[in-house]
């Protein structure tokens, strides 16, 4: 596997040797001082170019980056639909395990390129890029909820839980799992994000999809979170749903107390009782 030094050298030298590429910016986890370092971190790169067409008319120019395992070009796809934002991306997974997500962006539209707090300027041939401050994850930190956001999260969580129960009683495991791992878990993860924010004064991020939650949750809560993931066994999924409700409650209550929000105890009690009732219902009810 090529080293970070080799990969960055290749990325920058490619730009230096091509007059059409005027600047290079790196974003993402490799610039994040708080992100754990490992060999699977992507190289999120932006090439600011004079024109897109000379690159996109013949994609073979990317062969210089190495032997690819698979390539995706989102702007050349129909499903999912392209963003049509004036950029063109090459998502390249290489045979040696490295990955480059390379975005071409026209330098004439530099004013439209957002500034990301996780950015490092690797090359600027014309000195036209405003210097970036030291990279930080400030753009990605959770923000405190207001009373409406907290109330909406609680309402949606308790509203969708009966859907899972209905699917389990009907023995429609795919339906139940879809709701559970979609709508229900979305609200749980939102509450856990606020919980971590509250514990860290909103100075730490739980990471994409909660990948750093283990660092910030108490061991008992982390164990509960792991137990919200079950196999396709019906009883195991019922257990996971009950655990999910317990974890949601355990994190929502201290958030409510901390911010002075109202927790919907009545919704919790009525829905929880309903879930227990449906679990006990005979199949010929």
Domains of the chain, by residue range, sit at 4-139, 142-280
| Confidence (pLDDT) at 160 | 98
Cβ(28)–Cβ(119) below 8 Å: no
Domain over 4-139 is classified CATH 3.30.460.10: yes
What DSSP string describes 110-136? GGGSPPPSSEEEEEESSS-SPPPPSP-
| Confidence (pLDDT) at 133 | 95
List, for residues 42-73, the tens digit of each pLDDT value.
999 999 999 999 999 999 999 999 999 999 99
Q: How many contiguous H segments (helices) and E segments (strands) does the chain have?
A: 9, 6
| Confidence (pLDDT) at 45 | 98
Query: Low-confidence residues of the chain, pLDDT below 70?
Result: none
The mean pLDDT of the chain is 97
| Confidence (pLDDT) at 130 | 93
For residue 72, list its beta bridge partners.
Answer: 91
Residue with tokens 């390379």: 102
Percent of the chain with pLDDT over 70: 100
Cβ(122)–Cβ(24) below 8 Å: yes
User: Can you tell me the distance from the alpha carbon of 272 to that of 239, in angstroms, rounded to the nearest whole number?
Assistant: 13
**CATH of segment(s) 142-280:** 1.20.120.330
List, for residues 124-138, the tens digit of each pLDDT value.
999 999 999 999 999
User: Can you tell me the distance from the alpha carbon of 280 to that of 238, in angstroms, rounded to the nearest whole number?
Assistant: 11
């Amino acid at each position: 596997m090529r080293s970070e030094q080799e990969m960055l050298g290749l990325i920058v030298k490619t730009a230096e040797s091509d007059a059409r590429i005027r600047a290079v910016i790196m974003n993402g986890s490799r610039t994040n001082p708080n992100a754990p370092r490992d060999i699977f971190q992507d190289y999120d790169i932006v090439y600011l170019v004079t024109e897109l067409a000379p690159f996109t008319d013949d994609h073979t120019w990317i062969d210089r980056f190495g032997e690819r395992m698979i390539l995706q070009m989102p702007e050349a796809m129909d499903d999912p639909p392209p963003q049509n934002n004036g950029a063109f991306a090459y998502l390249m997974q290489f045979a040696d395990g490295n990955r480059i997500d390379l975005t071409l962006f026209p330098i004439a539209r530099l004013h439209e390129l957002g500034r990301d707090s996780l950015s490092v300027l690797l090359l600027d041939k014309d000195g036209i890029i405003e210097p970036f401050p030291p990279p930080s994850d400030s753009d990605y930190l959770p923000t405190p909820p207001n009373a409406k956001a907290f109330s909406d999260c609680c309402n949606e969580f308790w509203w969708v839980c009966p859907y899972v129960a209905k699917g389990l009683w009907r023995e429609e495991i795919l339906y139940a799992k879809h709701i559970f791992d979609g709508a229900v878990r979305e609200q749980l993860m939102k509450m856990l994000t606020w919980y971590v924010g509250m514990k860290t004064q909103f100075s730490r991020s739980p990471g994409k999809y909660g990948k750093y939650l283990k660092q910030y949750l108490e061991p008992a809560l982390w164990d509960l979170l792991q137990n919200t993931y079950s196999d396709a066994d019906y009883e195991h999924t019922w257990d996971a749903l009950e655990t999910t409700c317990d974890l949601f409650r355990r994190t929502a209550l201290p958030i409510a107390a901390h911010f002075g929000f109202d927790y919907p105890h009545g919704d919790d009690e009525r829905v929880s009782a309903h879930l227990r009732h449906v679990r006990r219902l005979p199949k010929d009810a």
